[in-house]
Amino acid sequence: MGEFDLEELFSKLSPEQRMAALQKLQKEAPSEKSEFELLKERVTALFDLDKKSKSPLKAGDIVRWKKGLSNRKLPAEGQDAIVIEVLTEKNLQKEKDSGTPYYREPLDLALAILDSKGDLVIFHYDQRRFEKVKDGLTFPEKSNDSE
């Protein structure tokens, strides 16, 4: 087998393929924490038990998955997304089987991301699974006037 340049190989991959490869490498890396320690860490992050969240999310914020809390393919782990709307009324995932991770998951966050073809798509998520990376866009205020 000949030698290859890892940087050259990565440069030939699409951003989505690069992200998937990095995720796979991270998952295969040995962890020094026990399974229970990882569980505690992720439950703490999901419910913000350590009160790390400085402010609630708002439209225009740039967010990404909290470490270890991604439960969907998109956005890819480490991929930024833009908050389109924080819903005041939570929509519960309508899975009929309580044995799925999506059963009754509150979907209270609409995020805009780019799919693998570069198209803008908007999906709904549980906002507890995301952390704010930075302020982003400023959306115009919604008007209640019917002009």
This prediction's pTM: 0.64
The answer to whether residue 140 scores a pLDDT higher than 90 is no
Residue 146: inside a domain, yes or no?
Answer: no
> What is the number of alpha carbons within 13 Å of residue 6 lying toward its C-beta?
3
Query: Does residue 121 belong to any structural domain of this protein?
Result: yes
Its domain, for residue 77, covers 6-134
Q: Domain for residue 108, yes or no?
A: yes
Report whether 84 contacts 62 (CB < 8 A). no
Question: Residue 54 is part of a domain; what is its CATH number?
Answer: 2.30.30
Q: Would residue 1 count as lying in a domain?
A: no
Residue 50: is it exposed, middle or buried by C-beta count within 10 angstroms (0-12/13-18/19+)? exposed
For residue range 2-32, what is the model confidence (pLDDT) as tens digits?
A: 455 666 666 666 777 777 766 666 665 566 7
pLDDT value of residue 79: 92
Q: What is the mean pLDDT of the segment spanning 72-79?
A: 91
Domain assignment of residue 140, yes or no: no
Residue 122 within any structural domain of the chain:
yes
Structural domains in the chain (count): 1
